[in-house]
A and B are shown apart, each in its own frame.
Chain A
Amino acid sequence: MVLTELSMLELAAKLTSGEVSSLEATRACLTRIAQVDGQVKAFLRLDEKGALAAAEASDARRKAGNPASALDGVPIGLKDIFLTEGGETTCGSRILQGFVPPYDATVVRLLREAGLPIVGKLNMDEFAMGSSTEGSAFGPTHNPWDLERTPGGSSGGSAAAVAACEVFGALGTDTGGSIRQPAALTNTVGLKPTYGRVSRYGVIAYASSLDQVGPMARTVADTAALLQLLARHDPLDSTSAKLEAPDYREDLEGGVRGLRLGVPREYFTGGMDPEVEQAVREALKAYEHMGATLVDVSLPHTKYALATYYLLATAEASSNLARYDGIRFGLRAKDAKGLRELYGLTRERGFGPEVKRRIMLGTYALSAGYYDAYYLRAQKVRTLIRQDFASAFEQVDALVSPTSPVPAFKLGEKVADPLSMYLMDVFTLPCNLAGLPGLSLPCGFTKSNLPIGLQILGKPFDEARLLRIARAFEREHGFVRRFPTL
């Protein structure tokens, strides 16, 4: 048994039986990180002391027969977008280097209360803007399945760390696919919950009407168990839904017999890698074989989603990122003369090229004379995209599609061409525009051993059913228990 290859729930069972301690599991993660992270570069920084102290406290609770949660003692990693009290948080940006938050994000507090040792902070595209983690100011993360390739993004560090067995699970955020696309590229499971399902308090904002926090893990059951800890109303987040979370693990093995799964025809037209398409088609057949009915559905406005997303996300980003002005926290250009120059130089030096590009696009879309043509029009098209999903869900229980049109691409391949990078999110971002839950799970490998992901989209707050559909495939096919060699 390789300890770090256990699933979160397998480890939890061993913690309960006393076969393994949280201290041992946490030390095993730290050893694994020391062995492989020089190649993978998933971590921006470790909190060895904090993690070991949390593990020790967890062991004491377990010994007293009083675990704080089902995952008490299971080590986890956090995308560096979550505020951690007393621990540097940079969001992958130079402008926040040295920033030490005065409080924990709500999800961080929930994980601490549930007893999970937080091993460290994981790499990401700067301010979550990107699909390859190459946008990080601190250098790219490498895909554990092929170190010359990207793990996807923006939660690429989270996905790579989970895939490389450096941690048992991680949290990411998903604005246009930033949990699901890296999950697909690394043979892991990633869930973007319904907008409002998980608190965003203390999560650094990119595009506030789209951002959502979600779990990343190596199995569907782990993903469900992690979501269970996070899904609750938070009075500190005004967009948090006032809804009780169901028991996500209760019906997990319920199968797909009798379910109607929609296959959106617009997600299968051109540009897709043939091996990805083949694997997804085979997964669809497998679902049919397991008793689901496949239904051909149409989401006619799909081709407008990318343009809509990039106008709305960048407009919101240009507004959210106005707070990085060099006054209250983060970098300040010390040599600036006057306030205006202080803003300009601080932001010029602190932000990387993709962040500046998106701020520029968003500022343009919101500027006088262009607001109606770009921003307002995109908001209206967003309505049409939502309506597409609403009518599809009158016919089906969930939608199934590829997660990413291509497997992991080479580092450096798309950096110089923003438009081709933006296309990486073409299947994932409509779900964010509509606020729906979406999940990616492993569904196969290319001939060159690169993971392929399957995406399942659901009705609002229907995460339990998505997990059940995902679990049915995982149980039959088990691609998830393959590990990269490092």
Chain B
Amino acid sequence: MALTLEQVRHVASLARLSLSPDEERRYATQLSAVLDAVAQLQELDVSGVEPTSHATLASSLLREDVTLPSLPPEKGLANAPSKVGTRFAVPKIIE
């Protein structure tokens, strides 16, 4: 299945990736080849087959509801590219 450049741009936008025109062309070719290869799954009859989302059935998803110490703000912010006081700073998002 051949992906168009427009489809590649749409997927890149969903994935929040700003691709260069060169990358768009390259990914159109490479992703098309991968999609051709995975198309073989269409030949299987999977009607009535339940999907497996996890390899083992997780039975211990919930922990005891007890209060535990969490990361102190100075540690949580230590890797922030930009911060103001105890908050992460981001560019203005409302025009």
Residues of A within 8 A of B (CB): 98-100, 102-103, 194-196, 209-210, 233, 235, 238-242, 301, 303-304, 306-308, 310-311, 318, 322, 325-332, 336-345, 347-348, 351, 353, 356-357, 359-361, 363-364, 367, 373-374, 376-384, 386, 418-419, 422, 432-436, 460
Contacts and interface: CB of A to CB of B under 8 A. Distances in A.
B25 to A, nearest CB: 13
A355 B30 CA distance: 13
B17 A344 contact: yes
Interface residues of B, number: 53
A381 to B, nearest CB: 6
Contact of B88 (A327, A360, A367, A436): A327
B60 interface: yes
Interface string B29-65: 0110111011011101010011111111011111100
Given A307-B40, A339-B93, A235 B46 contact: no
B77 to A, nearest CB: 8
B51 A380 contact: yes
A383 B50 contact: yes
Given A210-B55, A367-B14, A377-B42, 8 more contacts: A100-B78, A196-B55, A307-B40, A310-B38, A327-B90, A359-B17, A419-B37, A460-B56
B84 interface: no
Contacts of B76: 102
Secondary structure of the A contact surface, majority rule? helix
A456 B49 CA distance: 28
A220 B80 CA distance: 43
Contacts of B88: 327-328
Secondary structure of the B contact surface, majority rule? loop
B3 to A, nearest CB: 8
Given A100-B79, A380-B50, A386-B52, A336 B58 contact: no
Given A304-B40, A304-B41, A364-B31, A238 B61 contact: yes
B47 to A, nearest CB: 9
Interface of B: 3, 7-8, 11-12, 14-20, 23, 27, 30-31, 33-35, 37-38, 40-42, 44, 46, 49-56, 58-63, 71, 75-76, 78-82, 88, 90-93
Contacts of B31: 357, 360-361, 364
B93 A361 contact: no
Contacts of B78: 100, 102
Contact of A341 (B11, B18, B42, B60): B18
Given A367-B14, A432-B55, A99 B79 contact: yes
Contacts of A380: 46, 49-52
Nearest to A324: B16
Contacts of A418: 30, 33-34
Contacts of A341: 18
Contacts of B93: 338-339
Name the residue in B41, B50, B59 with the highest tally of chain A Cβ atoms < 10 Å from its Cβ: B41
Contacts of B15: 318, 347, 359-360, 363
B55 A367 contact: no
B11 A364 contact: yes
Contact of A235 (B19, B41, B63): B63
A382 B79 contact: no
A377 B35 CA distance: 14
A416 to B, nearest CB: 9
Nearest to A434: B55
Nearest to A358: B34
Given A209-B54, A367-B14, A418-B30, A331 B92 contact: no
5 contacts: A339-B93, A359-B17, A380-B50, A384-B46, A419-B37
Contacts of B60: 233, 238, 240-242
B44 A304 contact: yes
Nearest to A308: B41
Contact of B12 (A233, A336, A360): A360
Name the residue in B40, B42, B52 with the highest tally of chain A Cβ atoms < 10 Å from its Cβ: B52
Contacts of B8: 360
Contact of A330 (B35, B54, B81): B81
Name the residue in A327, A364, A367, A433 with the highest tally of chain B Cβ atoms < 10 Å from its Cβ: A364
A344 B16 contact: yes
B17 A338 contact: no
